[in-house]
Structure 1
Amino acid sequence: MVESTRVRSKRLSFSGKKTLSSFMQVNIASLRQSGKLRTSETYRATLNSFMKFMDGKDVLLSNMDAELMMGYETYLKAQGASMNTVSFYMRILRATYNRAVDKGVIRQRFPFKHVYTGVEKTVKRAISFKVIRQLKEMDLSHSQSMEFARDMFMFSFYTRGMSFVDMAFLKKTDLNNGMLTYRRKKTGQLLSIRWEKCMQDIVDKYPGNFSTYLLPIIIHIRKDERLQYKNSICLVNRRLKEIGKKLGLVHPLTMYVARHSWASVARGKHIPLSVISEGMGHDSEKTTLIYLAALDTTVIDKANMVVLREFL
């Protein structure tokens, strides 16, 4: 009797949440409560995008069908979204829909069977070691914000492509006995990096940082730390893009380029894939291969010249 009452109560708790928006709001709140803030933000962004497509009108989960999702895909393309962006939103919506199916809220109708949910090969983001050296040696003393952006890029490169969110939340106590140890926000994996002089030089460059954090990204402890991080990454990437233009780069320079560049330079030094993968904190070598998939075209051209040498 008690068991049946619990089941009935659980069903009732979902009875008012059969619209996509309501159901996603529950998932977003659950993600935030479990500390998965970045994931909750991606779910929020996906919901906002879909609601714009729907002109603010909610949709019943049971009314989500292949035709509706194909219409959303067409809408995203018309907005100039890349296929990877389309796939990103579709996969989050599919995960939400499947969760509703698992909970018995709706019956499976496979609404995502005709839309793109794969991963396209992206434009190569890495820059060469030569360009990284040029970046390091640039005189940016005229702009404090540009100089700071460059230094954060270099710190990421020095630390095996550490992500900006991990850099932001590094604590001074994470540095002990010449080793920097931190846990990746994305995967929870514990990584250790030997502390080098080039890393210390950047830390020393910004004295007066009296917070518990190692880098001056989150400065005001009593204010929203997550908001400080997000504001900082936006400003840093904006300044890096300006620097990239000064360097004559074709593609935008961002913090993410530092991660790709470390992997690319390491590969160019003939460091084994397994070592690169472990150094970057990847769950598998397949993830690392995504970073290294687009080889420098000059390398490919040289290889082709060797093949065609006797015909030239």
Structure 2
Amino acid sequence: MLTFKAEVLKSKQKSDGTYNVKIRMTYNREVKRLATNIFVRQEDLTKSFKLKNPKFIQEADAIVRHYQEISAKLQLDINNYTLGDIMAHLKGEQRKSQEIDFIQFSREWIASATIKGVENYTSAINAFVKFLGTDKLNIHQLTISVLRGFMDHLIKKREEKIRMLQKQGKRIPSNRIVSLYLGSIRHLFNEATRTYNDYDRDIILIPHSPFENFKIPKQEATRKRAISAKEILKIYQMPYQLDAKGREKKGRFNLAKDCFILSFGLIGMNSADLYSCIDLNNDVITYYRAKTTDRRNDKAKMKVKVLPIIKPLLEKYRDRTGRRVFNFYLHYTTPDSFNKAINYGLKQIGEILHIDDLEYYAARHSWATLAVNKVGIDKYTVHSALNHIDEAMKVTDIYIERDFKIENEANSKVLKYVFGSGLQK
């Protein structure tokens, strides 16, 4: 026989001095307990820890009756249910009545997420809350009309920003926000669905998705940041900034000049990888691309040969402690601060050479563009050299151990095209 009884456990006092009223379930000599939303204090209880406050007695009795009614429908005498099955069913029925705050869920999910780019979700939710004018939203109120309103809001804000940038004579960045933010909201909604819907037990707390009939605009193509071979050569040939004694300054201008050439000569190596790489053997740097290592079975492994034109820079910035390949980490506390210093210096270089909005990532874009358009390297090799994910070849890649020979041969051709054969010796 299945029985229910409200009880308070003396040993389970909370830090605020309250006790949670539990519903004790007994079935076939097995006991389990379900928590309730009733919290009582010492004065609400008898000396033997029985409820004495009429208000809480009434609330507990109502929960017991509710559970009894649900259990009666299970026909326990016919079906071979365990107490665990009964408890799971009651929890499911309990969950069906709960409200899900989408904003609260999203913030909790973000706080526990370990994926890269989690800050994008934070920005999206902050923008969404600002649009709503409240930090609470029942998930059933997340409708198509709300999404359309949010999209119009983002478009309007972008138009205002464009007008301001035009007045200031500044560059207009590509439009990623609308697609990025709405895509983030969709991902968070899907995470909520996975969390709250139990399809095995037919407990569907979120039955419909507003995204089924809502089309998120495609993201605009990123701005092309490639520069010409002549411009890369000009950066390489630029004189260093010197101090009063004629010695090379330790500053962001000179750092930017060198790191841009380092990146270009190392097949577009990201600043985070320059900062963190630790493996140099026989003039070959082995690293795992930080941007995608968590999303790849091979950890985004890459091997790039240090060609002659790059060797002086390798020696210049070599980590003499041997802990890493380069010593940048000794001068900058984080990869982000290192990257910001480079880009600051590149803005100075860009102004001198009349290259609009020059930035570090242009080295990577330029390597790929020159490889395809000027050197005749096939796109698949360039794709591989940049260490991008090939969705069509994922299964095949499991069986192939890359030696990176083809990628490094392509790099040799690109550097020869830009700097000439004389500098390759």
Q: Classify the TM-score, shorter chain.
A: 0.7 to 0.9
Residue 138 (structure 2) pairs with residue 60 (structure 1): yes
Which one has a bigger Cα radius of gyration?
2
Q: 1:70 to 1:140 in 2, by over 3 A?
A: farther
2:108 to 2, 8, 26: 26
Bigger helix fraction: 1
**1:129 Cα deviation from its structure 2 partner:** 1.0
Structure with more relative contact order (C-alpha pairs < 8 Å, separation 6 or more): 1
Alpha-carbon shift at residue 211 of structure 1 (Å):
7.3
After superposition, give the CA deviation of every residue in 1:159-206 in whole Å (9 maximum; x if it has no partner).
Answer: 1112222222212xx111222111122322111111223333223223
Change (3 A) 1:75 1:158: same
Alignment of 1:104-253 (within 5 A): 104=197, 105-111=205-211, 113-114=213-214, 116-142=216-242, 144-171=251-278, 174-188=279-293, 189-206=300-317, 210=321, 212-219=323-330, 228-250=334-356, 252-253=357-358
How far does residue 210 in structure 1 lie from its aligned partner after superposition? 4.1
Gaps of 5+ in 2: 1-82, 162-173, 198-204, 243-248, 294-299, 393-425
Is the CA contact 2:140–2:206 (under 8 Å) kept in the aligned structure 1? yes
User: 1:4–1:257: structure 2 CA closer, same or farther, 3 Å change rule?
Assistant: farther
Structure 2 contact 100–139 (Cα < 8 Å) conserved = yes
The change in CA–CA distance for 1:178 and 1:73 in structure 2 (over 3 A counts) is same
Query: Are the counterparts in 2 of residues 170 and 182 from structure 1 also a CA contact under 8 Å?
Result: yes
Which whole-Å CA distance do the structure 2 matches of 1:167 and 1:15 have between them?
53
Please, which runs of 5 or more residues in structure 1 have no aligned partner? 287-312
In structure 2, distance between residues paired with 1:11 and 1:280: 52
* Match in the other structure for 1:71: 149
Contact 2:318 2:325 in 1 (8 A): no
Choose from 78, 90, 94 the match for 2:186.
Answer: 94
Residues 283 and 305 in structure 2, CA contact (< 8 A), matched pair in contact too: yes
Rounded to whole Å, the distance in 1 between the matches of 2:290 and 2:86 is 40
Letter in 2 for 1:160: I
Alpha-carbon distance change, 152 to 96 in structure 1, aligned in 2, over 3 angstroms = same
**What amino acid maps onto 2:289 in structure 1?**
R
**Which is further off, 252-261 or 269-278?**
252-261
What fraction of aligned residue pairs are identical, expressed as a percent?
25
Q: What is the CA-CA distance between 1:108 and the residue it aligns to?
A: 2.5
Distance of 1:55 and 1:115 partners within structure 2: 24
Cα deviation, residue 20, structure 1 = 3.0
Q: 2:383 aligns with which of 260, 273, 277?
A: 277
Number of aligned residues = 274
Shift of 1:121: 2.8
**TM-score, with structure 2 as normaliser:** 0.57
Larger strand share, 1 or 2 = 2
Q: Would the alpha carbon gap of residues 9 and 167 (structure 1) be closer, same or farther in structure 2, given more than 3 Å must change?
A: farther
